[in-house]
Amino acid sequence: MYKRTMKNIILAPEKLERGDTIGIAAPASPFDLRKFNRGIDVLESMGFNVYIPEGIFNRNGYLAGTDDQRASILNNLFSKKDIKAIVCARGGFGSLKILSSLDYENILNNPKLFVGYSDVTALLSALFKKCRLISFHGPMAVELGSASQRTRNAMFSALTSRSDFEIFSKKGTSLKSGIGSGILLGGNLSTLCHLTGTPYLPDFKDSILFIEERGEAVYRIDRMLTHMKMAGCFNGISGLVLGSFTDCGSVREINKIVTGLFEKFDIPVLAGFAAGHGKENIMIPFGLKATLDAGGKLLSFEWPAT
């Protein structure tokens, strides 16, 4: 039984079995129906049933329905006992706007696998901060139809396994060698930056921090990292992993900025990890204990004993 008074307890959702039902949420922007249907086909080909709430097709300008509608759908999905996991349809913008409308007591009583990234970073962060729930940074429905086989395989494995595992970053670059351990947290940099100063940003102390981004100029990445550093967000972190920085300019320049900003941090730093908005988006668990070996380009995970 989960007890909120025990701050060090991590809430781990149950793994999926073939035949289990995945619910789809749309907490952010509207989505392309053709891409969405292709993604649903992929989930069903993995052996899962898919529940699609009618309301996720709502549109309210650049949002997939009003804030109340989007929050209500997500709350209802967590309430349904027959739904074992929730996969988001798309990111974009809007997850931040529903954080104060989520029923965290309901989530505590009905923990489920929750998958998303990009703008959904706001939800991944809030689920850990408020519920200590392990969630998954990984591909969303509209992307699964065009996702690489490695991305799909990694998603299926993460959904259905509770064995310790490791991910070797073949194309990774060690910016600072060393080994560090801690709970993996983080996500999209701009979203994390906008969570700074709110009650929904986790404390990254003693954690391995993962960040990724898309479509932000190098100077903006510098500004966001500097902002968070000045706010003390990075104090005490045990390691840093850089995912994809797609359409963000020179990767070499980004790595140079990170190296400079974290120069006085005695932590391992690994760049080029295949997660985020790149061609591959390997699903990784936030809230789970991880060990980063930057020199060995290895990120290892350890599930808690049951």
CATH number at residue 253: 3.50.30.60
**Structure-block tokens of residue 43:** 């989930």
**180 and 253 housed in the same domain:** yes
Residue 39, pLDDT score: 98
Could you report the per-residue pLDDT of 240-277, keeping only the tens digit for each? 999 999 999 999 999 999 999 999 999 999 999 999 99
Could you report the per-residue pLDDT of 7-33, keeping only the tens digit for each? 568 999 999 999 999 999 999 999 999
Q: How many Å apart are CA 95 and CA 115, to the nearest integer?
A: 13
Q: What is the pTM of this model?
A: 0.95
The answer to whether residue 14 sits within a structural domain is no
The answer to whether residue 13 sits within a structural domain is no
Q: What number is the average pLDDT over the span 87-105?
A: 97
Q: What number is the average pLDDT over the span 100-129?
A: 97
**93 and 131 housed in the same domain:** yes
The answer to whether residue 56 sits within a structural domain is yes
The answer to whether residue 2 sits within a structural domain is no
- Asked which of 106, 141, 160 is the last residue of a domain, the reply is 160
The answer to whether residue 9 sits within a structural domain is no
Domain that holds residue 191: 165-302
Asked if residue 240 lies in contact with residue 262, where contact means CB atoms within 8 angstroms, the answer is yes
The answer to whether residue 212 sits within a structural domain is yes
**111 and 180 housed in the same domain:** no
Q: Does an H or E element contain 49, and which?
A: strand 49-51
The answer to whether residue 3 sits within a structural domain is no
Q: Which residue has the tokens 């998958």?
A: 115
**Which residues are designated catalytic?**
118, 212, 277
Q: How many Å apart are CA 266 and CA 53, to the nearest integer?
A: 47
The answer to whether residue 128 sits within a structural domain is yes
Distance of CA 128 to the CA centre of its chain: 11
Residue 213, pLDDT score: 98
**36 and 133 housed in the same domain:** yes
The half-sphere exposure of 266 on its side-chain side, counting CA atoms within 13 A, is 0
Residue 7, pLDDT score: 59
**25 and 156 housed in the same domain:** yes
Q: Based on the structure, what is the number of domains in the chain?
A: 2
Residue 9, pLDDT score: 84
**57 and 152 housed in the same domain:** yes
Backbone angles phi, psi at 107, to 5 degrees: -65, -40
Q: What number is the average pLDDT over the span 221-243?
A: 98
- Asked which of 99, 134, 160 is the last residue of a domain, the reply is 160
Q: What number is the average pLDDT over the span 91-105?
A: 97
**142 and 187 housed in the same domain:** no
Q: What number is the average pLDDT over the span 90-103?
A: 97
Residue 6, pLDDT score: 43
**93 and 180 housed in the same domain:** no
Q: How many Å apart are CA 234 and CA 220, to the nearest integer?
A: 18
Q: 5 pLDDT exceeds 50? A: no
Residue 70, pLDDT score: 98
- Annotate 217-241 with DSSP letters as a single string: -HHHHHHHHHHHHHTTTTTT--EEE
Q: 246 vs 40, 116, 165, 254, 278, CA distance in Å?
A: 25, 17, 26, 11, 6
Confidence band, pLDDT 50/70/90 cuts, at residue 172: very high
User: Which CATH number covers residue 119?
Assistant: 3.40.50.10740
Q: 225 pLDDT exceeds 70? A: yes
Confidence band, pLDDT 50/70/90 cuts, at residue 306: low
Mean pLDDT of the chain: 95
**84 and 186 housed in the same domain:** no
Q: 170 pLDDT exceeds 80? A: yes
Q: How many Å apart are CA 261 and CA 259, to the nearest integer?
A: 6
- Asked which of 160, 189, 205 is the last residue of a domain, the reply is 160
**71 and 155 housed in the same domain:** yes
**Structure-block tokens of residue 54:** 């009618």
